[in-house]
Structure 1
Amino acid sequence: MIPLIQMPFVTSHLPYTPGRVGMFARSMHQHHHMRRRQDQNENDITQRPMATWKSYARIILAHVSLIVLSVVYVGFGAFLFYQLEQPNEVEVRARNIERFNIHKRQMIDHLWEMRSSGIGQHVVEDMAVKYVDNVTRILFEAFDTHCIGAKHLRPGGEDEDYNWTYMTALFFTTTLLTTIGYGNLTPVTGRGKFLCILYALFGVPLILITVADIGKFLSENIVQLYTWYRKLREKCSKQKYSVISNKDDKNKEGDLNLDHLENYISIPIFLIVAILLSYITFGAVVLSMWEGWDFFSGFYFSFITMTTVGFGDIVPLKREYYILDLCYIIIGLSITTMCIDLVGIQYIRKMHYFGRAIKDARFALVNVGGKMVHVPDLMRYASVLQQKYGQKKTHDTIIVKGAYAPKDLSKIRFIDFGALASMESWQSLWSILTGRTQEVHV
């Protein structure tokens, strides 16, 4: 009887027969092969390329989501400000109009009674002056509430539109988050002011990022269009134009490596300025048409808005065009950001390289007397020599009959530019300072 421990050795030397052992070994081999293929498929990330529309959808989805989030944030904020500020405006306007009307009726009735009772003219005039002063005070107090104007005090003024509507609140939130802030409409309640602080704290970064994202998209498309234009002009004129490359070798200190950046096209400055001025001019013409302004006022408003200065001395008043105004403002801010991005890339890069050139100037070599000397060493030696030999002193010379003998004649041989220009010039400098006659080893 063969021991059990020797059976694998015996069966491994026997000829293969399709039995239970052979079937089991084959099934195990197939299972292992299938498991290995499954692991390879899981680890292989390039086995199935992504569809083109999916890749574009992933790129666009982030930008569209950012724009949608900004729109929702602006719209929801406008609803909150409208709910907080309009009830206060209704109450304040009604109270001040009623107060003004009551005082006006009292003034007319009292003056009429005094005139009918035969009171003297000077007494009536004094009383009229007092009533006029009170009316003036009431008007100023009413105007200070920012909820009432002269049009509301005329007959039928109660039916005038309120300052806080959803459309005006939308205009307010947009100008608030874009940091323009015209100031023609502001919250007056404590809750409204607190909401303004909290709302702008999170909304201003969101809107600025959104505007910057749109501006970056526009700048990339402008660069692409200008690239196509240059290629087309090159084909037509058959001339070669050099393309500015932003690749640069590593500096000596390893501060910057631009090898991973792509080549870029330098957009002319006049083209960027022309785009911005053309858009401002277009806005000036359109705003002049629907707001009744002259061209210069429209251009002034557009420029102040695009630069986010927002003085508020000229603001749109036609509420039916507020949506178009907001679209014009958002697109204009994006174009301004695009222009800053295109100009900044070029000039910041030039200033950066100019700064690096100044920083590396200490490594420059100057040929002095056949020797190469670093600029800082040359300036240092020149300063020392100027201090020691640049001024003539009366006691440095000895007057001898028939000859001129300088006192420091023994030191003349140390004024050797070749020695000063050598890498071991510190020894010659030490000799000059100490007055020793040690030879300089070059």
Structure 2
Amino acid sequence: MTSNGPGWRRMVVLFVVVVVYLCVGAAVFSQIEGDPEIERRLQLEAFLRNFIGNHSCLHHEDLITVLRQVDQEFTFALNTLRNRTVYTQWDFIGAFSFVVTVVTTIGYGNMAPRTYPGKVALVVYALIGIPITLIMLNYLGQLLTRLSTKVNKCKLCSTKPLVNKILNMVLIVTLGLTILFILPASAFSYIEDWTVLEALYYCFVTLSTIGFGDYVAAMSENRLSHRGTGDLYRIVTYVWILIGLAYLSLLINYISNVFIKKAEEMERLTKEKLEAEVSRLQQELSKTGKSVYKTAANVTSSVKGKVWEAPSSNGIDQETGSVTLLRISQLEES
């Protein structure tokens, strides 16, 4: 590693390692969770069809209203009532989405292992995957930092360096927010049928790894929910997450550094003011000591048998640091 950070070769190697690890994790969880989920859903499908057959007077819309209050397997229950094919979320693409949320610590909560082998595998997988992903995101953040440094050297206003620096910073922030927030939010708003505010909310909650799970892109029914296009949409979404995590981490780190520098600057200024005040007080004490000594010296003639001695160091005691105004020594009369 050079002083300028990791090179592109090391970044590519690490990126390949992370992608391979994600693919291995997706295959493992797909194998563990896929068949049990199919079995559970087939049982649920049989139950729902039997229930509908025994309640011919029950309207489908009424049953859908009831199912909307149920969290577990809600989407699948609706698809069953609409005579759609039984499927599993734990296919490779679905499991890949799951492991991405695991290693990035987003943790939406919309997918979780239900079997004991799956839960054990999750613990082991996360212990290895999270550190590797954090290292990769750290390297990606350093590369983005180097890129932003190059952009920051652009001379948009060559006559005024301060204005040029502000313009470059605005350009960096605007490009980042546009590419990683505004454009994705517009796409999510259209595809997922969300409002723009909901889409922006999802972008921030996801990239900050808060991951509430109240909004999850590329998982529920949407305009690209069919196979092929829907799988591509998922892959693009999670590539966006990886890049966005690095950018937002860089932005938060920059804001943190600004606050730290401001705090250090305030501490330095406060220290300088205190030192200046102490120096001023010392000078005032020194002047006061000299003034008192001169006043005492003027009345020396009126005191018989005593000699007024000037205090050492202009009135400042070297050993104790206190101010000695006068020192009077008694002379023996001859």
Alignment match, 2:138:
212
Matched position secondary structure for 2:87:
coil
Matched position secondary structure for 2:90:
coil
Alignment match, 2:193:
292
Alignment match, 1:327:
239
Correspondence 1:241 to 2:161:
yes
Alignment match, 1:71:
19
Correspondence 1:156 to 2:83:
yes
Distance in 1 between the 2:50 and 2:166 partners?
70
Q: Percent identity?
A: 26
Alignment match, 2:206:
305
Alpha-carbon shift at residue 74 of structure 1 (Å): 1.0
- Highest relative contact order (Cα 8 Å, sep 6+), 1 or 2? 2
What is the correspondence of 1:12-411 to structure 2 with a 5 Å cutoff?
59-105=7-53, 146=73, 149-154=76-81, 156-157=83-84, 159-227=85-153, 229-230=154-155, 233-234=157-158, 239=159, 241=161, 270-271=170-171, 273-279=173-179, 280-316=181-217, 317=220, 318=225, 319-320=230-231, 321-356=233-268, 358=270, 363-364=275-276, 365-368=278-281, 370-371=283-284
Native 8 Å contact 1:267 1:342 kept in 2? no
Distance in 2 between the 1:331 and 1:203 partners?
17
Q: Deviations over 1:346-389 (max 9, x none)?
A: 4433433444555676654432484478xxxxxxxxxxxxxxxx
Cα 1:161–1:372 shift into 2, 3 Å: farther
Alpha-carbon shift at residue 107 of structure 1 (Å): 5.8
Matched position secondary structure for 1:164:
coil
Distance in 2 between the 1:63 and 1:218 partners?
12
Distance in 2 between the 1:421 and 1:273 partners?
58
Alpha-carbon shift at residue 90 of structure 1 (Å): 0.8
Distance in 1 between the 2:192 and 2:52 partners?
35
Alpha-carbon shift at residue 293 of structure 1 (Å): 2.6
* Letter in structure 2 aligned against 1:150: A
What is the correspondence of 1:420-435 to structure 2 with a 5 Å cutoff?
426-428=321-323
- Normalised TM-score (structure 1): 0.54
Cα 1:345–1:369 shift into 2, 3 Å: closer
Q: Deviations over 1:302-326 (max 9, x none)?
A: 1222222222112123333101111
Cα 1:359–1:145 shift into 2, 3 Å: same
Q: Deviations over 1:327-354 (max 9, x none)?
A: 2212211221222343344443343344
Native 8 Å contact 1:74 1:174 kept in 2? yes
Alignment match, 1:40:
none
Matched position secondary structure for 1:188:
coil
* Letter in structure 1 aligned against 2:203: S
* Letter in structure 2 aligned against 1:198: V
Alpha-carbon shift at residue 278 of structure 1 (Å): 2.2
Native 8 Å contact 2:38 2:86 kept in 1? no
**Larger C-alpha radius of gyration, 1 or 2?**
1
Cα 1:421–1:353 shift into 2, 3 Å: farther
Native 8 Å contact 1:178 1:204 kept in 2? yes
Matched position secondary structure for 2:279:
strand
Distance in 2 between the 1:150 and 1:267 partners?
53
Distance in 2 between the 1:191 and 1:226 partners?
50
Moved more, 75-84 or 205-214: 205-214
Distance in 1 between the 2:234 and 2:262 partners?
42
| CA RMSD between the two structures | 3.9
* Letter in structure 1 aligned against 2:248: T
Alpha-carbon shift at residue 87 of structure 1 (Å): 0.7
- Normalised TM-score (structure 2): 0.69
* Letter in structure 2 aligned against 1:200: A
Distance in 1 between the 2:39 and 2:251 partners?
47
Native 8 Å contact 2:67 2:74 kept in 1? no
Native 8 Å contact 2:188 2:199 kept in 1? yes
Where do 5+ consecutive residues of structure 1 fail to align? Answer: 1-57, 112-127, 129-134, 244-264, 374-415, 432-436
Alpha-carbon shift at residue 240 of structure 1 (Å): 6.0
| Number of residue pairs the alignment of both structures matches | 280
Alpha-carbon shift at residue 152 of structure 1 (Å): 4.0
